[in-house]
Amino acid sequence: MDFDYKPVEDNIDLDELYELMKPYDTRPRQPQPAQAVREVKPTEVRQVRSAETRRKAAKKEEEEKSDPLYECYGVLHDIAYVLMIVTLLFVFVVRLVGVDGKSMLPTLHHGDYLILESNFLYGDDDIETGDIVVLTVPYYKEEPIVKRVIATGGQTVDIDFQNHLVYVDGVALDESYLMDYTGQESWYNWTGEYAMEYPATVPEGSIFVLGDNRNNSTDSRFAPVGMVDTRCILGKVLAVALPGETRDEQGNVTDPRDWSRIGLVD
């Protein structure tokens, strides 16, 4: 007799079969050993919490930085710091002032912008003959003027107006920075109550100053200016930062800007 054999697929799931037979299994079961539970230390809990706190803080900071207002605050913060540094620099280290007038020709011109060493650094012990300083005097109603130091406290000044010579402690100064006055009339001098008497000794704590343009300068030769207290000094001129130019009433340039003059001042 012939039989037809059909293949049987072996798809028996043993785990599933075991679960089906459990209700009919009456054998005593062995107690399962309890699993050991590891004790979590407080320091580990704190570390987890700390890490989670840092993640939250970093996420919050990242969200804040992406906010346009936060970016604006950062820019304003940087600008404030820059302004503070610049302010401190220009108050305690250097200053920037402009020249008004022709009393310091040919060294300085009208309209020049000068860099000063601030009086915070330039004290009485630093003042020397020949220094160019910016100062205030009551006669000019506290308006700054720029002049050259001719003598300091304790020194004696004498002036030969006819021969264009200045003597300090009996020694004639070599003033190569002046205009050439050879063959010209004597330097201008004030008379009467506005005149100074020579020789004149400079008091301690004061200076005697003159403009380089001797016939167009109101300086220590003028009694209302006279000897200037060193506390009136705003600073010493270091350099010309921007040369000036002079124009007449019609706007025509009479003294053009000379860029080669930028630099240190003697």
Q: Which residues are catalytic?
A: 103, 147
Return the residue matching tokens 């710091």.
Answer: 81
**Both structure tokens of 259:** 């860029």
Q: Facing residues of 230 across strands?
A: none
By the 8 A CB rule, do 142 and 127 touch?
no
Instruction: Give the pairing type, strands 233-242 and 200-201.
Output: unpaired
CA proximity to 177, closest of 237, 108, 114, 124: 108
